[in-house]
Amino acid sequence: MKIVIIGLGGVGSILCDNLSRYLNYSDIDASVSLIDGDFYESRNGERQTFTRLGDKASVKCTELIHKFPKVSFQDFNEFVNEDNISSLITENSIVFICVDNHVSRKVISDHCQTLNNITVISGGNEYTDGNAQLYKREDGKNVTASLSEYHPEIEYPEDQSPEDMSCEELSHSEPQLLFTNLTVATIMCWMFYAVHKEKDVTKHAEVYFDITSMATLAKTRNSKN
Amino acid sequence: MTETYETLNDMTVAQLRDIVRARKIVGYARKTKDLTIKAILAAGDGPSMTKPAVSCVTKPGLTHTQKLAETAAAKPPTPVTAAQFKMSSVLTKPSAKVGDKTTTTIQVSCGANSADFPVEGKTVGAVQEFLKEVLNIDRLAEGQVAGASVETSYVLKAGDVLEFIKPAGSKG
């Protein structure tokens, strides 16, 4: 099983820890690619799980190799873009999108729609609510809607890729809540479990949550294409 | 003999209760002395009590319908110049038995928030405005019925499921 985790921030760092633990103690022969071009700094400590400062992908990769020896890990210290996306995401992968911008989601979504067999699990959040989406494509046909089909904000992103941001912009990020990141990561794990166990995912292709009203709601997302 | 508060107050509680029972004043057999006296005075149209604004003269031998007809004939109806009413909606459980459902409800959701509302016959735009705070609906959120985009002028009908698509979370 080829697993690609893109983005190792508040959601990605929590997700890869727990997903790797699951993989290590299951009978799955898994290889996990960790992708992030950012650095872990001490100010990220309130939401992110790293044991030392440095390149997020490298630091996390070293941690996980020692903790979960049955799983194969690779690190890529780069942000995804149109130039490197085809080499980072290949056929028959399960892709976890944990990035913090819609530009990157759009790049990944567009690329995955050109593949024949791919599963994409994408999560995102605001301060106390968020969602996760599951895009599955089999034999060149969409089983569920792509990430952007129901979400024009992903199809026409108004934010910036981290590659296009200045150091000052990168260092200034909107406040986020650990619990919200944790919920996104958890729902993404639910989706992975459904895919792994070959459950019918079409009726749960998008899951919303709101931690202030303590609610989750799953939605069907049929593809119109 | 004219009964006053003072004359009645001089009587014992037992005597007052006898009067109450004799005059068939219901519900005052166990009340306090003060309340019992007032009830006796009211029933007997005593001088210390205020008279009702509209006196009701009963005529023995007439049925209730006949009394109403007589009253209506005596007082011609006043034309209605204005009407005031209050509308309230009651949510019903979708899982309730058919006989227990009082209204047709439509499931409306936005993000993780969802509920059934009696909005059959309303337009999507009106529902969006009406529920924007309840469901935290964004002004630009697109309405979809059964997964298909609809205009704000679309009129909801029984069986529709309305979703206002909440934008995907951008952070992570």
pLDDT digit string (tens) for B114-150? Answer: 999 999 999 999 999 999 999 999 888 999 998 899 9
Residue A153 has pLDDT above 60, yes or no: yes
Residues of A numbered 197-216 whose beta carbons fall under 8 angstroms of chain B's beta carbons: which are they? 208-210, 213, 215-216
Residue B39 domain flag: yes
Domain count, chain B: 2
More confident residue, A108 or B55: A108
Q: What is the rounded end-to-end Cα distance, in angstroms, of chain A?
A: 27
Q: Which token pair is B40?
A: 């006796």
My answer on whether B70 and B11 are in the same domain is yes
My answer on whether B17 and B59 are in the same domain is yes
Nearest to B170 among A9, A102, A217 (CB): A102
Whether residue A145 lies within 8 A of chain B, CB to CB, comes out as no
- The pLDDT tens digits for B100-112 are 656 789 999 999 9
Whether residue A131 lies within 8 A of chain B, CB to CB, comes out as yes
pLDDT at position B18 is 85
Place of tokens 């038995």: B97
Q: How many angstroms separate the CA of residue A225 from the nearest CA in chain B?
A: 13
In this structure, what DSSP letter does residue B170 have?
A: -
Residue B172 domain flag: no
Per the DSSP assignment, residues forming a β-bridge with A131 are: A124, A208
- The pLDDT tens digits for B1-51 are 578 888 888 888 888 888 888 887 877 767 788 888 888 888 875 433 433
Per the DSSP assignment, residues forming a β-bridge with A5 are: A34, A96
B140 contacts on A by Cβ (under 8 Å): none
Residue B84 domain flag: no
pLDDT at position A197 is 94
Q: How many angstroms separate the CA of residue B55 from the nearest CA in chain A?
A: 56
More confident residue, B15 or B67: B15
- The lowest-confidence range among A28-37, A134-143, A184-193, B74-83 is B74-83
My answer on whether B67 and B102 are in the same domain is no
B168 contacts on A by Cβ (under 8 Å): 102, 105, 122, 124, 131, 133, 147, 151, 153-154
- The lowest-confidence range among A37-46, A78-87, A171-180, B71-80 is B71-80
Distance from C-alpha of A53 to C-alpha of A81, rounded to nearest angstrom:
25
Residue B27 domain flag: yes
Whichever domain contains B149, its CATH number is 3.10.20.90
Residue B81 domain flag: no
Residues whose CB falls within 8 Å of the CB of residue A204, separated by 6 or more in sequence, listed in order: A134, A191, A194, A218, A219, A220
Residue of A nearest to B148 (CA): A224
A10 contacts on B by Cβ (under 8 Å): 171-172
pLDDT at position B19 is 87
**CB neighbours of residue A59 within 10 Å:** 22
Phi-psi region of B35 (alpha: psi -120 to 50; beta: other; left: phi over 0): alpha
Average pLDDT over residues A13-22: 98
My answer on whether B69 and B104 are in the same domain is no
Whether residue B139 lies within 8 A of chain A, CB to CB, comes out as no
My answer on whether B68 and B11 are in the same domain is yes
Residue B149 domain flag: yes
Average pLDDT over residues A130-137: 98
Interface confidence (ipTM) of the complex = 0.92
CATH topology of domain A2-219: Rossmann fold (3.40.50)
Residue B54 has pLDDT above 50, yes or no: no
Amino acid at B10: D
Measured over the CA atoms of residue A38, residue A44, residue A48 and residue A51, the dihedral's sign is positive
Range of the domain at B139: 98-164
pLDDT at position B88 is 38
